[in-house]
Protein backbone atom coordinates (compact mmCIF):
# COMPACT_ATOMS: atom_id res chain seq x y z
CA UNK A 1 0.00 0.00 0.00
CA UNK A 2 1.41 3.37 -1.05
CA UNK A 3 0.39 6.13 1.37
CA UNK A 4 0.96 9.77 0.50
CA UNK A 5 0.81 12.44 3.18
CA UNK A 6 -0.97 15.64 2.13
CA UNK A 7 -0.14 18.74 4.16
CA UNK A 8 -2.70 21.52 3.67
CA UNK A 9 -0.82 24.83 3.80
CA UNK A 10 -2.56 27.04 1.24
CA UNK A 11 -4.59 29.41 3.43
CA UNK A 12 -4.20 33.15 3.76
CA UNK A 13 -4.00 33.33 7.60
CA UNK A 14 -6.36 36.32 7.62
CA UNK A 15 -7.22 36.12 11.33
CA UNK A 16 -3.57 35.87 12.33
CA UNK A 17 -2.42 38.66 10.03
CA UNK A 18 0.79 36.90 8.97
CA UNK A 19 1.54 33.53 7.35
CA UNK A 20 0.94 30.87 9.98
CA UNK A 21 2.77 28.36 7.78
CA UNK A 22 6.02 30.23 8.42
CA UNK A 23 5.70 30.63 12.19
CA UNK A 24 8.70 28.97 13.80
CA UNK A 25 8.67 26.41 16.57
CA UNK A 26 12.28 25.86 17.46
CA UNK A 27 14.43 25.61 14.35
CA UNK A 28 11.69 25.08 11.77
CA UNK A 29 8.54 26.75 10.44
CA UNK A 30 5.19 25.01 10.92
CA UNK A 31 5.08 23.91 7.29
CA UNK A 32 8.39 22.05 7.62
CA UNK A 33 7.30 20.62 10.96
CA UNK A 34 4.15 19.17 9.34
CA UNK A 35 6.16 17.67 6.47
CA UNK A 36 8.58 16.09 8.93
CA UNK A 37 5.71 14.60 10.95
CA UNK A 38 4.19 13.01 7.84
CA UNK A 39 7.55 11.57 6.88
CA UNK A 40 8.18 10.25 10.42
CA UNK A 41 4.75 8.60 10.28
CA UNK A 42 5.96 6.33 7.49
CA UNK A 43 4.28 7.92 4.51
CA UNK A 44 5.81 6.79 1.23
CA UNK A 45 5.73 10.36 -0.09
CA UNK A 46 4.67 13.80 1.14
CA UNK A 47 2.93 16.55 -0.80
CA UNK A 48 2.28 20.10 0.39
CA UNK A 49 -0.42 22.23 -1.19
CA UNK A 50 0.35 25.95 -1.10
CA UNK A 51 -1.45 29.03 -2.36
CA UNK A 52 -1.14 32.22 -0.34
CA UNK A 53 2.47 33.24 0.23
CA UNK A 54 3.57 30.67 -2.36
CA UNK A 55 7.04 32.13 -3.05
CA UNK A 56 7.92 32.28 0.66
CA UNK A 57 6.64 28.75 1.24
CA UNK A 58 8.57 27.41 -1.74
CA UNK A 59 11.68 29.03 -0.30
CA UNK A 60 11.04 27.47 3.13
CA UNK A 61 10.64 24.03 1.54
CA UNK A 62 13.46 24.40 -0.99
CA UNK A 63 16.00 22.42 1.02
CA UNK A 64 13.65 19.40 1.19
CA UNK A 65 14.03 17.66 -2.15
CA UNK A 66 11.71 14.80 -1.21
CA UNK A 67 8.53 16.83 -0.89
CA UNK A 68 6.13 17.49 -3.76
CA UNK A 69 4.98 21.11 -3.66
CA UNK A 70 1.60 21.68 -5.30
CA UNK A 71 0.58 25.27 -6.01
CA UNK A 72 -3.18 25.79 -5.94
CA UNK A 73 -4.15 29.08 -7.55
CA UNK A 74 -7.73 28.71 -6.36
CA UNK A 75 -6.78 28.53 -2.69
CA UNK A 76 -9.16 31.37 -1.79
CA UNK A 77 -12.08 29.04 -2.56
CA UNK A 78 -11.32 27.28 0.72
CA UNK A 79 -9.97 24.17 2.37
CA UNK A 80 -12.03 21.71 0.34
CA UNK A 81 -10.77 23.19 -2.88
CA UNK A 82 -7.16 22.89 -1.74
CA UNK A 83 -7.64 19.29 -0.65
CA UNK A 84 -9.25 18.43 -3.98
CA UNK A 85 -6.36 20.00 -5.90
CA UNK A 86 -3.78 18.13 -3.81
CA UNK A 87 -5.55 14.78 -4.08
CA UNK A 88 -5.99 15.23 -7.82
CA UNK A 89 -2.29 15.99 -8.25
CA UNK A 90 -1.23 13.06 -6.05
CA UNK A 91 -3.44 10.55 -7.85
CA UNK A 92 -2.33 11.84 -11.25
CA UNK A 93 1.38 11.62 -10.43
CA UNK A 94 3.61 8.81 -11.61
CA UNK A 95 3.66 7.18 -8.18
CA UNK A 96 -0.07 7.70 -7.52
CA UNK A 97 -1.45 6.54 -4.14
CA UNK A 98 -3.53 3.82 -2.55
CA UNK A 99 -4.31 6.06 0.42
CA UNK A 100 -3.83 9.65 1.52
CA UNK A 101 -3.11 10.96 4.99
CA UNK A 102 -4.55 14.46 5.33
CA UNK A 103 -3.01 16.80 7.88
CA UNK A 104 -3.07 20.53 8.53
CA UNK A 105 -0.12 22.87 8.82
CA UNK A 106 -1.69 24.67 11.79
CA UNK A 107 -2.04 21.67 14.13
CA UNK A 108 1.45 21.67 15.66
CA UNK A 109 0.68 18.79 18.02
CA UNK A 110 -0.03 16.42 15.12
CA UNK A 111 3.41 14.86 15.39
CA UNK A 112 4.97 11.84 13.75
CA UNK A 113 3.96 9.49 16.57
CA UNK A 114 0.28 10.41 16.21
CA UNK A 115 0.30 10.20 12.42
CA UNK A 116 2.10 6.85 12.56
CA UNK A 117 -0.95 5.40 14.35
CA UNK A 118 -3.08 6.26 11.31
CA UNK A 119 -0.54 4.90 8.84
CA UNK A 120 -0.14 1.64 10.77
CA UNK A 121 -3.91 1.24 11.00
CA UNK A 122 -4.20 1.64 7.23
CA UNK A 123 -1.48 -0.93 6.64
CA UNK A 124 -3.44 -3.26 8.96
CA UNK A 125 -6.48 -2.99 6.69
CA UNK A 126 -8.55 -0.05 7.95
CA UNK A 127 -9.85 2.15 5.14
CA UNK A 128 -11.09 5.23 7.01
CA UNK A 129 -9.25 6.54 10.03
CA UNK A 130 -9.81 9.84 11.80
CA UNK A 131 -8.62 11.62 14.89
CA UNK A 132 -11.18 12.47 17.55
CA UNK A 133 -11.20 15.67 19.58
CA UNK A 134 -13.64 18.35 20.61
CA UNK A 135 -16.53 15.87 20.57
CA UNK A 136 -16.13 14.81 16.95
CA UNK A 137 -13.97 13.40 14.19
CA UNK A 138 -11.55 15.39 12.11
CA UNK A 139 -8.12 15.62 10.59
CA UNK A 140 -5.56 14.26 10.68
CA UNK A 141 -7.44 11.57 8.79
CA UNK A 142 -6.53 8.81 6.40
CA UNK A 143 -8.58 7.63 3.44
CA UNK A 144 -7.83 4.34 1.67
CA UNK A 145 -11.06 3.50 -0.16
CA UNK A 146 -10.97 4.32 -3.88
CA UNK A 147 -14.43 5.88 -3.60
CA UNK A 148 -13.16 8.19 -0.86
CA UNK A 149 -10.16 9.26 -2.91
CA UNK A 150 -12.47 10.20 -5.76
CA UNK A 151 -14.75 12.05 -3.32
CA UNK A 152 -11.76 14.07 -2.08
CA UNK A 153 -11.07 15.11 -5.68
CA UNK A 154 -14.60 16.54 -5.93
CA UNK A 155 -14.50 18.70 -2.78
CA UNK A 156 -15.22 22.38 -3.30
CA UNK A 157 -15.38 25.52 -1.22
CA UNK A 158 -14.36 25.60 2.41
CA UNK A 159 -15.85 22.24 3.40
CA UNK A 160 -13.08 19.80 4.14
CA UNK A 161 -13.13 16.03 4.42
CA UNK A 162 -15.27 15.97 7.57
CA UNK A 163 -18.37 14.97 5.56
CA UNK A 164 -16.63 11.72 4.58
CA UNK A 165 -16.13 10.87 8.24
CA UNK A 166 -19.76 11.04 9.29
CA UNK A 167 -21.90 7.95 9.73
CA UNK A 168 -19.53 5.51 8.04
CA UNK A 169 -17.40 2.94 9.86
CA UNK A 170 -14.34 4.92 10.90
CA UNK A 171 -11.46 3.85 13.10
CA UNK A 172 -11.06 6.60 15.69
CA UNK A 173 -7.68 7.71 17.05
CA UNK A 174 -7.89 9.97 20.13
CA UNK A 175 -5.96 13.22 19.68
CA UNK A 176 -5.95 15.05 23.01
CA UNK A 177 -4.67 18.33 21.61
CA UNK A 178 -6.44 18.19 18.26
CA UNK A 179 -8.43 21.32 18.98
CA UNK A 180 -5.25 23.31 19.52
CA UNK A 181 -4.60 25.00 16.22
CA UNK A 182 -3.23 28.34 15.09
CA UNK A 183 -5.80 30.80 13.77
CA UNK A 184 -5.12 33.88 15.90
CA UNK A 185 -2.26 35.44 17.83
CA UNK A 186 -3.85 34.18 21.04
CA UNK A 187 -3.82 30.63 19.62
CA UNK A 188 -0.13 30.97 18.77
CA UNK A 189 0.68 32.14 22.29
CA UNK A 190 -1.24 29.17 23.71
CA UNK A 191 0.71 26.72 21.51
CA UNK A 192 4.01 28.17 22.71
CA UNK A 193 2.88 28.03 26.34
CA UNK A 194 1.82 24.38 26.03
CA UNK A 195 5.11 23.46 24.43
CA UNK A 196 6.99 25.22 27.21
CA UNK A 197 5.10 23.08 29.74
CA UNK A 198 5.98 19.80 28.00
Cross-strand bridge partners of residue 5: 46, 101
Give me the mean pLDDT over the 171-197 stretch.
Answer: 95
In sign, the C-alpha dihedral spanning 188, 191, 197, 198 is: negative
Section 17-35 average pLDDT: 95
Per-residue model confidence as pLDDT tens digits over 107-128: 999 999 999 999 999 999 999 9
**pTM for this prediction:** 0.95
**Domain tally for the chain?**
1
Instruction: Give the range of the structural domain holding residue 86, as residue numbers without chain letter.
Output: 3-197
- Inter-CA distances, 125 with 99, 120, 144, 145, 193, Å: 11, 9, 9, 10, 38
Q: What is the pLDDT of residue 94?
A: 66
Q: 196: burial class by Cβ within 10 Å (0-12, 13-18, 19+)?
A: exposed
Instruction: Assess whether pLDDT exceeds 90 at residue 182.
Output: yes
d(CA 11, CA 52): 6
Q: What is the pLDDT of residues 118-163, one digit of tens each?
A: 999 999 999 999 999 999 999 999 999 999 999 999 998 887 888 8
How far, in Å, CA of 100 to CA of 83, rounded?
11
What's residue 63's pLDDT?
85
Q: What is the CATH number of the domain that holds 176?
A: 3.90.550.10
pLDDT tens, 59-114?
999 988 789 999 999 999 999 999 999 999 999 986 789 999 999 999 999 999 99
- Residue closest to 179 by CA, chosen among 165, 169, 194, 167: 194
Amino acid sequence: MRIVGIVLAAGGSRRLGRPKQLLRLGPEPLVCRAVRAAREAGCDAVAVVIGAEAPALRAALAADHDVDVITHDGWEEGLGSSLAAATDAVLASAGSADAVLVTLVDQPFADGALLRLLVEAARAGHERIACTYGGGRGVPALFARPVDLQALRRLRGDGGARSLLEGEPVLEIPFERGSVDVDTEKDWQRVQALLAED
